[in-house]
Amino acid sequence: MIRRKAKGEQQRARMEAEAEACFQRAPEVARRQEAKSLELRAATRLSRLWYAQGRHEDARQLLADIYGWFSEGFATPDLQEARLLLDQLARTRGIMGESLLR
């Protein structure tokens, strides 16, 4: 039973690593194609994965850099989703900062 659980964990970790690699390539491809909206979507997905992994600052920095490029279209679903995630990351950052001060 323990071996089966360990094997399942290994498979999950491998699948997560493969997903992360795909998510990392997607913004690069969109950037080369000068497709900012696709780059934003890809960065949002990668940032969500990093958030789940506890890589909050990496997620915030990636998404903030791309989000900051936009000067209009803030009512679109993609930009709204990115803004919500950035807000969530900012709250997490604030909570983590407070816990370090205690």
The string of pLDDT tens digits covering residues 13-25 is 677 777 777 777 8
Residues 40 and 84: their CA atoms lie apart, in Å, by 13
Q: Where are the domains of the chain?
A: 2-101
The SS3 call for residue 74 is coil
The string of pLDDT tens digits covering residues 22-48 is 777 877 777 888 889 999 999 999 999
Q: Which fold has domain 2-101?
A: 1.25.40
Residues 14 and 6: their CA atoms lie apart, in Å, by 12
The string of pLDDT tens digits covering residues 46-92 is 999 999 999 999 999 999 999 999 999 999 999 999 999 999 999 98
Residue 77 gets the label, from left (phi > 0), alpha (psi -120 to 50) or beta, of alpha
Question: How many alpha carbons fall within 13 Å on the CB side of residue 25?
Answer: 5
Q: Cα 21 vs. chain centroid, distance in angstroms?
A: 12
Question: Model's pTM, two decimal places?
Answer: 0.73
| Whether 93 contacts 56, CB under 8 Å | yes
